[in-house]
Structure 1
Amino acid sequence: MSGSVSPWATDVFGKQAPAVHLLLGQALRNMQANAQAAQEQADSRTNHTYGASRWQNQFERVQDELTDLPGAVPVHPFGFPFELMLVGRGLIYPFLYSKTKADVRTARIPHESRLVKELFTFAPEPKHLQDAFDFGLEGTAVMAEPRGGLATVPQGTRLVLVPFACNASELLEAHWGIAALGEGRHLQWATAPEPLVLPHTVTAHESRLTSVPKQSAASGRRHTSFAEGSQPSLTLSSRATTDRLLDVPPQSEPETAEDRASEDDATH
């Protein structure tokens, strides 16, 4: 399988390139299976559950698949809830580019967030074509200084994009490659985006709850009935003689003492 990856992949991932290629496809298959299972369990009329689960799984399942590769390191970007995987010199960023089959060469990054700007500091410089209306003013693109775990990755790290297309019904396709971030969030591919193999089977890396665990025996627990509970303590007080003479009805509870303090007292 080593001959199935391009030279750029070998240059970035080293001898792990074929394994990364295969495991990324497996991770996306697991992502889709988990997201569909969550949607089915939610029994919802919308696909919100699928979308939220898919977003989480696209990062966590990649980490599951790649974590045992020699030299694989999780990287935690600042303020991001998930970790990205660094294998060799390749920092892997999976993202949804379409909910239908579409030409990945026209793909756009969904959101140009601070994280995206930090990630693309590890990507090639975008091409800029000067036109008749460009009077030498500085471009509007702002490069963000990497923070958190991204500030610790070695020099020479390359951002490897993994765009995939899927919806609540099926996983359609996935690719990988290296690209610059151009205007309007369009990707300028430095390498031809190559398809990933998407297996039909699903793998699991940890046990999942399939039944309710056996509860402890009833003999080991003592359920106290109401009659067996401790008696409440009662405060008894005799009625004043004047109350009895004036036929004042007895009180079962003491009156709440009126709070005579005010906020103004703190200033005096």
Structure 2
Amino acid sequence: MSVHVPPWAANVLGKAAPLVQVGLGQALRNMQANAQAAHEQSDSQTKHTFGMSRWENQFQRVQDELKDLPDATAVRPYRFPFDLMLVGRGLIYPYKYAETTVDVRKARGPKESELIRELFSFAPPTRHVQDALDIDWDVSAPQPEPRGGLANLPEGTRLILVPFACNASELLAAFWGIAALGTERHLEWVTEPAPLTVPKTVTSHGTRLSTIPAQASVESQHTGFAEGSEPTLTLSSRGSSERLRGIPPLTEAEPVQDQTSEDDATH
């Protein structure tokens, strides 16, 4: 099958560009199928199950399709639950931009978060920053410092966005391209967002419950609180150095900064 690859993709991804282009289309088809299956199995009147499954699958299915390509590496951002795929110099980030058919060039980028700011440090500068550089203005806005797996990416890595539109009924459109993140989440496309071909065939449809797990026999079931084995409680003592320095005991975990705040994760 002949695949037309945009010049920018060949430059960033190298010889793997046609395989990445085909793999992304297949990954999004599988994502939609898995999310719809989860929604059907939940028998829910809301779309929360679809949205959560779709959000997980948009990363996991991309990894499935691209992980065996030459020069492909899985990268885990700081405190993010999924891997992103790096192929050649291209760091791939899929996200949902709409639930209806709208012009992707007018759609906003992903919801702002620490992760998104770190990812866009691998994107081209915005126009106003580039204009300031061209006329020697002082551009002193602090740049985010990539953490986790992003901190180890090679120089020259470029963020590739994979925006798609979908809802619980269908996958409407999918694109890929390179853009800078402007004000109020407006994207400044450096390349024309190229449409991805999404196949009709699903190559992975998730895992369905095909057999009923073995149930406990009546004799072995516990019917009262006084029956069964007693629970165990593991205690650990504080170190002597902490007691001498008067450090209070830690009773709650430190708050974790949200790295997964994509605004469409439950829709």
TM-score by length of 1: 0.74
- Aligned match of 1:152: 152
For residues 148-172 of structure 1, give each alpha carbon's deviation from its aligned partner in whole angstroms, at most 9, with x where no partner exists: 0000011111000000000011000
Structure 2 residue 188 is matched with structure 1 residue 188? yes
Cα offsets for 1:155-195 (capped at 9, x unmatched)? 11100000000001100000000000111111100100000
**Mapped partners of 1:50, 1:31: distance in 2:** 10
The alignment-based identity, stated in percent, is 62
**Which AA in structure 2 matches 1:115?**
L
Equivalent residue, structure 1, for 2:9? 9
Equivalence for 1:96: 96
- Is 1:49 the counterpart of 2:49? The answer is yes
Letter in 1 for 2:117: K
3-state SS, counterpart of residue 92 of structure 1: strand
> 2:25, 2:199 within 8 Å by CA — same for their partners in 1?
yes
Q: What secondary structure is seen at the aligned counterpart in 2 of 1:82? A: coil
Gaps of 5+ in 2: 132-136, 223-267
**Post-superposition shift, 1:211?**
2.4
Query: Larger C-alpha radius of gyration, 1 or 2?
Result: 1
Instruction: Tell me the distance in 1 between the aligned counterparts of 2:165 and 2:218.
Output: 56
Distance 2:221 2:148 in 1: 56
Distance of aligned partners of 1:211 and 1:8 in 2 relative to their CA distance in 1, 3 Å threshold: same
Q: Name the amino acid aligned to 2:79.
A: G
Q: For the residues of structure 2 that align with 1:207 and 1:45, how far apart are their CA atoms?
A: 22
Contact kept? 1:32, 1:54, Cα under 8 Å = yes
One-letter amino acid of the counterpart of residue 70, structure 1: P
RMSD (Å), alpha carbons: 2.6
TM alignment of 1:33-48, pairs within 5 A: 33-48=33-48
Matches within 5 A, 1:1-268: 4-128=4-128, 142-204=142-204, 209-212=209-212, 215=214
Following TM superposition, the consecutive aligned residue runs of length 4 or more in structure 1 with deviations greater than 6 angstroms are 136-139
Whose RCO is larger (CA < 8 A, sep 6+)?
2
Contact 1:174 1:196 in 2 (8 A): yes
Question: For the residues of structure 2 that align with 1:44 and 1:208, how far apart are their CA atoms?
Answer: 17
For 1:112 and 1:64, the matched residues in 2 are separated by 27
Q: Output the amino acid matched with 1:182.
A: G
Is the partner of 2:79 in helix, strand or coil? coil
Q: Which moved more, 1:172-181 or 1:204-213?
A: 204-213
Q: Are the counterparts in 1 of residues 110 and 116 from structure 2 also a CA contact under 8 Å?
A: no
- The secondary structure found in structure 2 opposite 1:95 is strand
C-alpha deviation, 1:196, in angstroms: 0.3
2:150 aligned partner, one-letter code? L
- What is the rounded CA distance, in whole Å, between the counterparts of 2:104 and 2:53 in structure 1? 23
